[in-house]
A and B are shown apart, each in its own frame.
Chain A
Amino acid sequence: MLLNQFLLLGAILFCTGVYGVLARRNGVMVLMSVELILNAVNINLVAFSASTGAIAGQVFALFVIAIAAAEVGVGLAIVLMIYRNRHSIDLSQADLMKG
């Protein structure tokens, strides 16, 4: 198996996640795109771990999974608060701090 197969797959998922973060206005959709990005990173980490034989890549991937869980929890709580205050989760309308 080529190492590049996994790295390119990771790159494609990453760029799809980037498109999702930039183009979607629904708060929950943005969070899902961030999950795509994190999974792309995880594929990269584990592929390198398999390629060099170091176990550190897989350990790091586990930490990324844990951090993603924490981030989704807090992120959804924030989206929930935005919804409660504005009755909409359209992020392009949440621009009170815009100068």
Chain B
Amino acid sequence: MGDSTAQSVFFYILAVPMVIGAIRVVTTRNIIRAALWLVVVLGGVAAQFVLLVAEFTAVTQVLVYIGAIIVLFIFGIMLTRAPLGKSLEFHRNQAIGGLVVAVGLLALLGYVLIDGFGDDQINLEVAGLPSVQVVGVVDEGSGRYEQAVSSSRFDVLANEDFEEQVAELVGDALAGSSAQDQLRAASEAERQREVALAEAEDDGVTASSAFVIVEASNTKAVSDAIFSDYIVPFEAISVLLLAALIGAVVLARKD
């Protein structure tokens, strides 16, 4: 559990400046300072992503948010010649109303989260990579399968020689990783298979084999998902970005 403590410590080291930065974004009078505090928050979010072993998302966050969106904000601030020093006066009623709503919402969300998720742990053996994941089991009787996680890339490994097959699969897919990592991935797959089989038995399904997917790196996993399962939203986002680009150019044109 030493790992988990270190991660918790880092979480708090990141979270405290993030919360302070967020509060400063919405309370500071100077709008350029607000943009810079927002950079603190965005950087903190990217660091949290790294903590959650989502490094591709972290790098994208830095590139797109800090590298493009903040620059866009600063351009917008400069072009609208917003007073760079102290700006518009503070309106008490509006601020108090906003504060009441925000605090009430926070209380509600906090209660729901603590009540709902209690002590659920994030198991980095599951989230961390390299990993092998059991995503479903094949029903002996009907031949159909229960897929626990959506994925179109999987291998079916029969129950009898599961261990050897998993070891081979892990060896192939994670060829670059250390032996210890491969061993960890294979034993994690074993553990997940036990869980999946037990769940299947509870549902009255006798499973003859299990589906596994192997993810060698976060980028590979994300790209496999985007370009197979989520290709339609991906194309839709491309069209959306094009529309936004044309729209922004037309709106901002001087006519």
Contact = CB atoms under 8 A, between A and B. Distances in A.
Contacts of A20: 25-26, 98
A99 interface: no
A2 B65 CA distance: 27
Contact of A15 (B65, B105, B240): B105
B177 interface: no
B244 A74 contact: yes
A79 B80 contact: yes
Interface residues of A, number: 72
Q: How large is the interface on B (under 10, 10 to 19, 20 to 34, 35 or more residues)?
A: 35 or more
A69 B64 contact: yes
Contact of A49 (B8, B38, B54, B118): B54
Given A20-B26, A23-B98, A56-B230, 9 more contacts: A6-B52, A7-B113, A36-B38, A47-B52, A50-B126, A66-B240, A72-B69, A76-B73, A83-B81
Interface of B: 4, 7-8, 11, 15, 18-19, 22-23, 25-26, 31, 34-35, 38, 41-42, 45, 48-49, 51-54, 56-57, 60-61, 64-65, 68-69, 72-73, 75-77, 79-82, 87-88, 91, 94-95, 97-99, 101-103, 105-106, 109-110, 113-114, 117-124, 126-127, 131, 133, 149-151, 215, 218, 221-222, 224-226, 229-230, 233-234, 237, 240-241, 243-245, 247-249, 251-252, 254
Q: Which 6 A-B residue pairs are closest in the complex by CB-CB distance?
A: A22-B98, A23-B98, A20-B26, A70-B244, A50-B127, A19-B102
